[in-house]
Amino acid sequence: MNTMTLLTTSKYRWGEAILRQLFFLCALISVLTTVIVIGILAVETSSFFQQVSITDFLFGTEWRPMLEPKAYGILPLLGGTMLIVVGSSIVALPVGLACAVYLSEYASDRARNIIKPVLEVLAGIPTVVYGYFAISFVTPGLRFVFDDVQIFNAASAAIVVGIMVLPMVASLCDDALRSVPLSLREGAYSVGATSYEVTARVVVPAALSGIFAAFVLAVSRAIGETMAVTLAAGATPNLTLNPLESIQTMTAYIVQVSLGDTPSGGLAYKTLFAVASVLFTITLVMNLLANKVMRKYQEVYE
C-alpha cells in the first residue's frame, strides 16, 4: 500500500522483528534442552545395547557392572527405587493430604498464615540436608527401635524422602481442595452432613483428579530423588523387599559411577546413560500424565 510510508518506518519494524526472534529463541531453548537430553540418552543407550541385550538389561536380576562376573540387570536398581517410592508414599501421601484437608477445610486464616510458610521452608530445604537428617537422626532412631537394621537402609531414606515431598503433596492437594466451590460444601451441610462427611464424601471426591495429579508428581519426585538416598540407603544393588537392608536406587548408582574414575567411553560409563534413560522415561511419563490431569481439572472449575 502507498500509504504505508506514512504509517511506519522500516527501522522500527526491523528492531521489533529482531527482538521478537530473540525472545522466540529463548523460549525455544527449553525445547532444545529436551531434544538434547533425549538425543544423548538415546545415542549412548543404543550403543550400550550393542553390547548388552535389552532383555538382560530389563529383566536381569543382578546388577554388577564393575565386578566380575559382570551383570547388567536393572531390576535390583528398579526394585531399590520402588522400595523408596513405596516407603516415601506411605509417609507423604496420607500426611500431605491430611495437611491439605486441615489447611483448606479447618484452619483459621491465622493458622494457615503460619503453616503455609513452614511448609514452604520445608519444601525449600536442599535434599542433601535431608540426607544428613536421615543418617544423623532417622537411622539411629530406627536402629534403636528395630534390631537388625543395617547402617545404610532403605527405610531411613524412604522416610526422609517422604518428608521431603510432603510439602509438595500438601500444597498441590490444598490447591485442588480449594478449587472445589464453597457452594458445594454448603449444599452438603444443608442436608445435615457433618464436617467429616462433607470433606470425605463431597469435597475430596470432587477434587480427586487434582489429588491424583499431586500424588503422581510426588511419586515422580521420589523416583528422581538423589542425595538423600545416596547418603542413607547405601550402594548395594540388592533385589529385596526388606526396607531395613541396604539397597541402591537408580539415582544413587548414577552418582556412584560419576564419583569414581570411570573412563569415558567404556561399558561401565555407558551404564550411566542406560540407567538414566529408564529414570528419565519413567519420570517423564508420570509428569506428562500429572500435568495433563491437572490441566483438565483446572479447566473444570475455571
Partner 1 sequence: MNTRDDAVLEARDVTIRYGEQAAVKNVNLSIYEKKITAIIGPSGCGKSTLLRSLNRMNDFIEHVTQDGEILYRNTNLYGEGVDPVEVRLHMGMVFQRPNPFPKSIFRNVAWGPTINGLPGDINLRVERALKQAALWNEVKDRLNDSALNLSGGQQQRLCIARALAMEPEVILMDEPCSALDPVSTSRIEDLLFELKQNYTIVIVTHNMQQASRVSDYTAFMENGSLIEYGDTDQVFTRPKQKRTEDYVTGRFG
Partner 2 sequence: MKTSPSSNGESLGHRSASLRRRHLIAALFKALCIGFTLFAVSVLGLLIAQVGADGLPWLDTQFLNNFPSRFPEKAGIKSALYGTLWVVSLTALIALPMGVLAAIYLEDYAPASRLTRVIEINIANLAGVPSIVYGILGLAIFVRFFGLERSVLAGAMTMSLLILPVIIISSKEAIRAVPSSIRLAAYAVGATQWQVVRSHVLPAAIPGILTGVILALSRAIGETAPLIMIGALTYVAFTPEGPMDEFTALPIQIFNWASRPQAEFHELAAAGIIVLLVVLLTMNALAVFIRYKGTQK
Classify each residue of 70-105 as buried b or exposed e, where b means 16 or more C-beta atoms within 10 Å of its C-beta: ebbbbbbbbbbbbbbbebbbebbbeebbebbbebbb
Whole-number Cα distances in Å, 256 to 226, 250, 268? 11, 10, 11
Residues 234-253 that bind partner 2 (CB under 8 A): 251
Range in contact with partner 2 (rule: CB under 8 A) among 35-43, 54-62, 142-150, 183-191: 35-43
270 makes contact with partner 1 (CB under 8 A) = no
Length of the chain counted residue by residue: 302
Conformational region of residue 218, where left means phi above 0, alpha means psi within -120 to 50, and beta covers everything else: alpha
The binder of 191, among partner 1, partner 2, none, by C-beta within 5 to 8 A per type, is partner 1
Does residue 93 belong to the site contacting partner 2 (CB under 8 A)? no
Contacted by 153, from partner 1, partner 2, none: CB < 5 to 8 Å by type? none
Interface with partner 2 includes 202 (CB under 8 A)? Answer: no
Cell numbers placing 72: 547388567
**115, 123, 135, 202: residue in contact with partner 1 (rule CB under 8 A):** 202
**Phi, psi of 72, rounded to the nearest 5 degrees:** -125, 45
Select the residue interacting with partner 1 from 78, 93, 100, 188 (CB under 8 A). 188
Cα dihedral 46, 48, 51, 57 in deg (nearest 10): -100
Q: Which does 189 bind (CB under 5 to 8 A by kind): partner 2, partner 1, none?
A: partner 1
**Minimal distance, residue 52 CB to partner 2, in Å:** 19
C-alpha cell at 200: 470425605
- Nearer CB in complex with partner 2: 149/227: 227
Residue 185 found at the interface with partner 1 (CB under 8 A): yes
Only one of the segments 139-147, 197-205, 266-274, 287-295 lies at the binding site for partner 1 (rule: CB under 8 A); that segment is 197-205
Site for partner 1 (CB under 8 A): which residue of 75, 123, 193, 239? Answer: 193
190 binds, among partner 1, partner 2, none (CB under 5 to 8 A by kind): partner 1
Q: Of partner 2, partner 1, none, which one sits near residue 108, judging by CB under 5 to 8 A according to partner kind?
A: partner 1
- To which H or E segment does residue 167 belong? helix 154-178
Q: What are the b/e assignments for 259-271, b being 16+ CB within 10 Å?
A: eeebeeeebebbb
111 near partner 1, judged by CB under 8 A: no
Window 170 to 199, contacts with partner 2 (CB under 8 A): 170, 194-197, 199
Which cell goes with 19?
Answer: 527482538
Question: Is residue 5 at the binding interface for partner 1, with CB under 8 A as the rule?
Answer: no
149 binds partner 2 (CB under 8 A): no
Show the cell assigned to 80.
531399590
The distance between the two most distant Cα atoms of the chain, rounded to a whole number of Å, is: 90
For 196-245, the DSSP string reads: HHHIIIIIHHHTHHHHHHHHHHHHHHHHH--HHHHHHT-S-----S-TTS
- The residues of the shown chain that bind partner 1, judged by CB under 8 A, are 108-109, 181, 183-194, 197, 201-202, 205-206
